[in-house]
Amino acid sequence: MIDSDKKVIALCGGVGGAKLALGLSRVLSPGQLTIVVNTGDDFDHFGLPICPDLDTVMYTLGGVSNKTQGWGREGESWHAFETLKELGAETWFQLGDKDLAVHLQRRALLDRGFSLSAATSSLCSHFGIAHTVIPMSDNRVSTIIETAEGDLPFQHYFVREQCRPTITGYRFDGIESAAPSPGFTRALEDKDLAAIIICPSNPFVSVSPVIELPGVRDSIRASGVPVIAVSPIVGGKAIKGPAAKMFAELNLPVSNQGVADFYGDLLHTLVVDQGDRDEPLNTGCQVHYCNTVMKTLDEKVALARECLHQSLLFTPGGSAKGNSH
């Protein structure tokens, strides 16, 4: 396994990313792992700062996530939300009572001058999370889904419209003037950084905002560490979310090939589900096959170990290419 003084960055979106992040947190010590979370889905609702991916990661690592519904907290009640319905409020974005409290406290912390990083750190500490969970940026970046029906902020597309409209493109409003969060920059520049793991999140809207932040792609390259991505496409489908639909509507192959092409020469290794071993793949990076479907904690930990193991196979300065297994 990876040396105890070596460090790892995980780039991560929501549910799928959070699963691997949880696995990594069981394998790496708190000082070794920085989980950098997409905030392109963030928006304000009822005056509250909604950070869907940050909360999914926080609730998952804090052991309070609702695994059935894939968002929010387990053992949740809905009294505020039911009352909002009675009041004729917008209720397409559901917030449970406990979940609401997290949003209220984030609002209070931000109003008190906390950065989103500092607010996240404060909240995570209350959930007993020792590993570093940070937003990709403390500046607001807004993922906009361009559809045949017009532009939609990501959560409007994803939750309100249930991913129904056909995608014609996407963009990240505000990204040019956003900076990577200080913790993200520090982690990228850390001399002990040994690997960057791209979790099996939506490449377009979960990972891309993180990578496209000014300077990040260059910093990743400059770090010289292996970049290992876990493909979110298994058997031509996404485990969760609209990734497969987006690949298709953007006229890209709905396959591991599509994922490899999307990340291009940023990747050293693409980790592909073992069930897709027969899919023809033409990549400029290594491909590693293993189980990538993480239903149990053991599967999450196993995939984390596979990713870390792949990073050790990378030869600095070398050109290790081709498929393993």
Which of 26, 107, 240, 245 touches its own copies by CB under 8 A? Answer: 107
Which of 81, 157, 184, 289 touches its own copies by CB under 8 A? Answer: 81
**130 near its own copies (CB under 8 A):** no
x/- contact string, 175-214, with its own copies (CB under 8 A)?
----------------------------------------
- Shortest CB 112 distance to its own copies, Å: 10
Q: Which stretch binds its own copies (CB under 8 A): 9-17, 102-110, 143-151, 164-172?
A: 102-110
x/- contact string, 29-68, with its own copies (CB under 8 A)?
---------------xxxxx--------------------
Are residues 286 and 313 in contact, defined by beta-carbon separation less than 8 angstroms? Answer: yes
**119 near its own copies (CB under 8 A):** no
Side-chain half-sphere exposure of 299, counting CA atoms within 13 A: 10
Cβ distance to its own copies smaller for residue 83 or 166: 83
**111 near its own copies (CB under 8 A):** yes
Helix (H, G, I), strand (E, B) or coil at 72: coil
Which of 98, 140, 245, 309 touches its own copies by CB under 8 A? Answer: 98
Buried-exposed string 60-99: b where 16+ CB fall within 10 A, e elsewhere? bbbebbbeeeebbbeebebeebeebeeeeeeeebebbeeb
Which of 69, 83, 162, 166 touches its own copies by CB under 8 A? Answer: 83
- Shortest CB 65 distance to its own copies, Å: 15
**108 near its own copies (CB under 8 A):** yes
Listed residue (172, 187, 294) closest to 231, CA to CA: 294
- Shortest CB 278 distance to its own copies, Å: 48
**88 near its own copies (CB under 8 A):** yes
- Contacts by 156-160, CB closer than 8 A, 24 or more apart: 158/41, 158/241, 158/242, 159/92, 159/93, 160/92, 160/93
Q: Which stretch binds its own copies (CB under 8 A): 29-37, 74-82, 152-160, 280-288?
A: 74-82
Site size toward its own copies, by CB under 8 A: 30
Which position has the token pair 């409209």?
Answer: 165
Which position has the token pair 């090939």?
Answer: 257
Which of 30, 67, 69, 126 touches its own copies by CB under 8 A? Answer: 126
Listed residue (198, 193, 199) closest to 225, CA to CA: 193
Residue 261: is it exposed, middle or buried by C-beta count within 10 angstroms (0-12/13-18/19+)?
A: middle
CA 86 centroid distance within chain? 35
Cβ distance to its own copies smaller for residue 88 or 316: 88
Are residues 50 and 93 in contact, defined by beta-carbon separation less than 8 angstroms? Answer: yes
Q: Which stretch binds its own copies (CB under 8 A): 89-97, 186-194, 269-277, 278-286?
A: 89-97
Q: Which stretch binds its own copies (CB under 8 A): 88-96, 183-191, 264-272, 306-314?
A: 88-96
Listed residue (230, 217, 226) closest to 259, CA to CA: 230
Alpha-carbon gap, residue 126 to 116, rounded angstroms: 15
Sort strands 48-50 and 150-153 into parallel, antiparallel or unpaired: unpaired
- Shortest CB 177 distance to its own copies, Å: 23
DSSP H or E stretch at residue 43: strand 43-45
**26 near its own copies (CB under 8 A):** no
- Contacts with its own copies, residue ranges (CB under 8 A): 44-48, 77, 79-84, 86-90, 97-98, 100-102, 104-105, 107-108, 111, 122-123, 126
